[in-house]
Each structure stands twice: as C-alpha cells, then as structure tokens.
Amino acid sequence: MIILVLFVLGGFGVYGWTVQKSWMVVIFGSIPGALFTYYLLGTGIALATNEGRFYSVPFGGLAVGSSDFALFGSMAFWWVTWIVVLFLLTRRFLL
C-alpha cells in the first residue's frame, strides 16, 4: 500500500511536469524522493557497518527508536533537501 501511495505522489509530480507547474513537481516529487533517500541510506549504512538495525541519517543514528525527533527531524531534513534540489531543477528546465 505504501508503494502505491509513493507512486501516486510521484505521478502527481510527473503530471506537474507535463503541465509546466513547477510547484507540483517540487511538492509531490519531493515526498517519495525523501522517503526513498531516508530508507536507502538507513539500510545501506546499517548493512555497511554490520548493524542489525536501521540507521537514521542524519539525526539519531542507531537510536532511532528512542525519540521522535530522530525520525521526524531526519525526514524533514531529506524533504527540505529534495524540495531545494527539485526547485532548482524545475527552475532550470521549466523556464
């Protein structure tokens, strides 16, 4: 179900690209990008360090379950990062 939601959000981003609405690309494209980045970095670092647990990047580390700040702070960091990246890309290619 979560994969379906991510594809729907990505689909809205693609639709925004086709109708030349950069805000749609930025908002709807940044959410799946942030979730995938957080998940892939978290599992990748955990595998690289031979840890059996998820590694929260950039906040929390291995103590991701100890506080909500680690989870929401890291997700907010990646979401803002993807918003900036997509905003810069859409400004360059949609103008």
| C-beta separation of 29 from 7 below 8 A | no
Amino acid identity at 44: G
In this prediction, residue 23 carries a pLDDT of: 74
Question: What pLDDT was estimated at residue 4?
Answer: 66
pLDDT in tens, the chain (95 residues): 566 666 677 776 667 666 667 677 777 778 888 888 888 888 888 888 887 777 777 877 766 666 777 788 888 899 999 988 888 887 766 55
Residue identified by tokens 């840890």 is 51
**Overall pTM surpassing 0.75 (yes/no):** no
Would you state the pLDDT for residue 90?
75
- For residue 22, give both structure tokens: 């950069």
